[in-house]
Amino acid sequence: MHHGEEHNCCGNKKHGHEEAAHSCGCSLEKKEAKSCCCSGGHNKKVETCCGGGKKLLSEGKILWISFFALVASFLIGEFVQPAGVLRLLDFAWIAIILCGLPIAQSAWKALRDERKVNSPMLITVAMIATICLEAVFVFTGSHEGGHGHSYLFAAGEIAFLMALGEFLEERTVAKSRAGIERLVSLAPKRAERKAPDGAFEEIDAKDIKVGDTLLVRPNTIIPTDGRIVSGATSVNQANMTGESVPIDKAVGDEVLGGTMNESGAIEVEALRPESQSALAKLIELVEEAEGKKAPIARIANRWASYIVPAAITLSIVVFFFARFVLDTTTTDSFVRAVTILVVFCPCAFVLATPTAIAAGLGNVSKRGILVKSGGALEELAKVDAVVFDKTGTLTTGEIAVSSFETDGMDGDEMLSLAASAEAFSEHPIAKAVTGFAQRKNLEAAKAENVKSLVGTGVECDVGAHKVKVARASVFEAEIAYSEKLKKYYDGEKSKTVVGVEIDGKLSGLISLSDTIREEAKPAISALKEKGYFTAMLTGDNGGAAAGVAEKVGLDKVYHSLMPEGKLAKIAELEGEGKTVCMVGDGVNDAPALASANCSIAMAALGNDVAIETADVAMMTDDLRKIPSLLRFAKQIIFTIKSNMLLSLAISFAAIALSAYGYLDPVLGALVHNASSVLVVTNSARLLKTRWK
């Protein structure tokens, strides 16, 4: 994992988290790359796609062989105790070669290609120094204050423990990629396409073209994004949107590739090729996010670049301190200096950030949220002000009847006649009126002589009545004659109001407004409980904006804003020292999303502009996920900082113990790997963190 090899066929892109871990470099050479991009597959061998040399032994076999070699070395040293040159014929060489050689190769590669002295160099110097100690003993016969067994055993054990610790780290970190592997496994390899003769033929999913009609059988995965043209079913979208309840779908409804068709067989018209489906985009975004470093990661890498030369310098200082201040033997002083090199490796420190970021991204992706980079996570953790767009964000964007008033006519009769007049119109207001009447179980009679009034409304005959439905401004003169309707109209001017005229007399007014999302009020309430400032940026008039803000409980409303006005308000809030998160649907608020410190686009999977602009893309429009996301981002950053402090504390404690002889190279290797595993395990907890 830590080698971060670059492959020419992959466009010189590093795979997965290898870049972040390259500065540690304690790992074995890999037999396989879990996600090699060159072939398009996800389980191709590195040597196949990248031309690397074929590995004869797997990672596990190398560890087992090295372990038994070290056991043999220990037993021979304990019971046989060879003398002279025979001491150099030690089974520990097997562990040194199998586990230590890859570390040395990594150190040499960094020195040769990048002119960098890195952590593998420290381990390599420590192993060479330990081997030299054994050579000094063999050829001089002195073993001052030395090791009970061969120093080759110590060198082999250092290499083995480094490799074992790396193996355990990789196993833990691999869980953070489980989200991507799960998404990849959702991508179907085959699909059934309708042929010109009406029969269905099986094809590769990658051969799907826009406009193809695909058969999706029950309990199978939908191969690409499409629209149902035949049949009805329930679709489980949990793996894409985080919704736990299957959604009923019928003719005309869109379905997402990678979701599960649970009940009925359906025919789907492909809207995108498989390579451009929502699932493919989701995988691409998550992998892109994993490759982007958080600013806090740069701190770790910068410190690591200082730690390596500092460790070498400190090792020399400890040698002279032990020899001349503590008055130890030359050999013992040398052992302490070597131990410093082992314990001072910044592996745990370097792993502190990428492991936490990877685990955090894995957790949020399971909930239908895509955070596009570690930097975005860090900005989310700093947020103290959350501003929302109105239409399509706090509201559904769908107009609905909010209230009505009549004068001299029964309300249900007025609504029934209005619905009859609007029955054949596709206008959003007409749909809202007819839908409201249907929910009240009012029957709409057949309208005749329907005449569209361009820009104002519609008039028709319904039975014996002549009905006209038009915007209220058409009837303002008549409204003034009715005290009841005038009072209602004056109170509803912030909304869309239509009048209903029956047989030449204004009989009632119907008020319509955008529908507030059910999740909006609890989401805003949760944010305010945690001390976040909340506001709305909208182009709507003050009355409409204030009505929505009051119902959901926002702190502040900025209304009648053009796009440039929204940018100015965000800049104003940032100028007040606030870290602003903008939440929108990405349709008309893309500039505001781009200008805020960080931004969240809701229901963004089908909106390329939103995905490109926002830092976070939510697959659903559930606002209640936003407070949980902000809390979790803070938890991720706290985990990173605690990882750093933990790794540094262990390193400095181990340095002091090594200087005074309480740790030797073998115990130092154990401490080193224990700190790395501890850091990775601490990060892995983020994978299982439950959201409130």
CA 61 to the chain's CA centroid: 34
| DSSP reduced 3-state for 153 | helix
Q: In what order do the strands lie in the sheet with 385-389?
A: 369-371, 616-618, 598-601, 580-584, 385-389, 533-537, 556-558
Distance CA(426)–CA(445), nearest Å, equals 18
Catalytic residue among 389, 407, 585, 615: 389
Strand order in the sheet with 226-230: 200-204, 190-194, 213-216, 266-270, 226-230, 254-255
SS3 category, 611:
helix
**Residue 678: DSSP 8-state:** H
Closest CA to 464 of 483, 449, 443: 449
What secondary structure does DSSP assign to 472-503, as a single string?
A: GGGGHHHHTT-HHHHHHHHHTTTSEEEEEEET
Q: How far apart are CA 171 and CA 676, in angstroms?
A: 13
Q: Radius of gyration (Cα) for the chain, nearest Å?
A: 34
Residue 197 CB neighbours (<10 A): 6
490 is catalytic: no
Tell me the DSSP string of 237-303: -HHHH---S-EEE-TT-EE-TT-EE-SS-EEEEESS-GGGSHHHHHHHHHHHHHHSPPHHHHHHHHH
Helices then strands (H, E): number in the chain? 25, 23
Residue among 219, 230, 165 nearest 21 (CA): 165
**C-alpha count within 13 angstroms, C-beta hemisphere, residue 197:** 3
> Is the distance from CB of 580 to CB of 385 less than 8 angstroms?
yes
One-letter amino acid at 415 equals: L
CB 63, CB 160: distance < 8 Å: yes
3-class SS of residue 468: strand
d(CA 223, CA 192): 9
Residues noted as catalytic? 389
